Amino acid sequence: MASVESDIFEIIAEKAAVARDKIVGTASLQELEIESLDVVEIIFAVEEKFDIHVPFNANDQELEFDTVSDVVKAVEALIAESGGAA
Protein backbone atom coordinates (compact mmCIF):
# COMPACT_ATOMS: atom_id res chain seq x y z
CA MET A 1 0.00 0.00 0.00
CA ALA A 2 2.85 2.36 -0.76
CA SER A 3 0.42 4.46 -2.76
CA VAL A 4 -1.66 5.06 0.38
CA GLU A 5 1.45 6.19 2.24
CA SER A 6 2.49 8.49 -0.58
CA ASP A 7 -1.00 9.98 -0.85
CA ILE A 8 -1.12 10.60 2.89
CA PHE A 9 2.31 12.23 2.86
CA GLU A 10 1.09 14.56 0.10
CA ILE A 11 -2.12 15.38 2.01
CA ILE A 12 -0.13 16.19 5.16
CA ALA A 13 2.28 18.38 3.20
CA GLU A 14 -0.57 20.29 1.59
CA LYS A 15 -2.94 20.67 4.54
CA ALA A 16 -0.32 21.36 7.20
CA ALA A 17 2.03 23.38 5.00
CA VAL A 18 4.97 21.11 5.81
CA ALA A 19 7.83 20.60 3.36
CA ARG A 20 7.30 17.22 1.70
CA ASP A 21 10.90 16.14 2.34
CA LYS A 22 10.37 16.50 6.10
CA ILE A 23 7.50 14.01 6.10
CA VAL A 24 8.73 10.52 6.94
CA GLY A 25 6.95 7.70 8.72
CA THR A 26 8.85 8.13 11.96
CA ALA A 27 8.25 11.89 12.18
CA SER A 28 5.89 12.84 14.97
CA LEU A 29 3.09 15.26 14.22
CA GLN A 30 4.46 17.40 17.03
CA GLU A 31 7.93 17.52 15.42
CA LEU A 32 6.29 18.62 12.18
CA GLU A 33 4.42 21.31 14.15
CA ILE A 34 1.05 20.06 12.92
CA GLU A 35 -1.70 21.82 14.86
CA SER A 36 -5.02 20.23 15.85
CA LEU A 37 -6.89 22.20 13.18
CA ASP A 38 -4.45 20.83 10.60
CA VAL A 39 -5.17 17.30 11.85
CA VAL A 40 -8.88 17.86 11.29
CA GLU A 41 -8.23 19.14 7.75
CA ILE A 42 -5.94 16.16 7.08
CA ILE A 43 -8.63 13.76 8.28
CA PHE A 44 -11.28 15.37 6.06
CA ALA A 45 -8.95 15.15 3.07
CA VAL A 46 -8.10 11.50 3.83
CA GLU A 47 -11.78 10.62 4.16
CA GLU A 48 -12.52 12.24 0.81
CA LYS A 49 -9.50 10.73 -0.96
CA PHE A 50 -10.08 7.15 0.21
CA ASP A 51 -13.88 7.24 0.63
CA ILE A 52 -13.67 6.14 4.27
CA HIS A 53 -14.83 7.47 7.64
CA VAL A 54 -12.11 8.14 10.19
CA PRO A 55 -13.61 7.84 13.69
CA PHE A 56 -11.88 10.89 15.11
CA ASN A 57 -13.29 13.31 17.64
CA ALA A 58 -11.24 16.49 17.85
CA ASN A 59 -12.39 16.92 21.45
CA ASP A 60 -11.24 13.42 22.46
CA GLN A 61 -7.58 13.60 23.39
CA GLU A 62 -7.44 9.83 23.89
CA LEU A 63 -7.25 9.24 20.15
CA GLU A 64 -4.04 10.79 18.97
CA PHE A 65 -1.89 10.07 16.00
CA ASP A 66 1.64 10.40 17.31
CA THR A 67 3.56 9.77 14.09
CA VAL A 68 2.94 9.92 10.38
CA SER A 69 3.12 6.10 10.35
CA ASP A 70 0.26 6.00 12.87
CA VAL A 71 -1.88 7.92 10.40
CA VAL A 72 -0.88 5.64 7.51
CA LYS A 73 -1.57 2.44 9.48
CA ALA A 74 -4.97 3.70 10.65
CA VAL A 75 -6.01 4.67 7.13
CA GLU A 76 -4.79 1.35 5.67
CA ALA A 77 -6.82 -0.52 8.30
CA LEU A 78 -9.93 1.55 7.55
CA ILE A 79 -9.52 0.94 3.82
CA ALA A 80 -9.20 -2.81 4.45
CA GLU A 81 -12.28 -2.77 6.72
CA SER A 82 -14.34 -0.96 4.12
CA GLY A 83 -13.28 -3.40 1.43
CA GLY A 84 -11.92 -0.51 -0.60
CA ALA A 85 -8.80 -0.39 -2.69
CA ALA A 86 -6.18 2.30 -2.66
Domain count, the chain: 1
What's the CATH code of the domain at 67? Answer: 1.10.1200.10
11-37 pLDDT per residue, tens: 999 999 999 999 999 999 999 999 889
46-80 pLDDT per residue, tens: 999 999 998 876 555 444 678 999 999 989 999 99
Whether 86 has a pLDDT exceeding 60, the answer reads no
Q: Domain containing 16: what range?
A: 2-82
Give the predicted TM-score (pTM) of the model: 0.85
Sign of torsion, CA 8 10 16 18? positive
For residue 21, how many other CB atoms are within 10 A of its CB? 8
- How far is CA 39 from each of CA 27, 29, 54, 83, 84, rounded to the nearest angstrom? 14, 9, 12, 25, 23
Enumerate the β-bridge partners of residue 28.
67
For residue 65, how many other CB atoms are within 10 A of its CB? 20
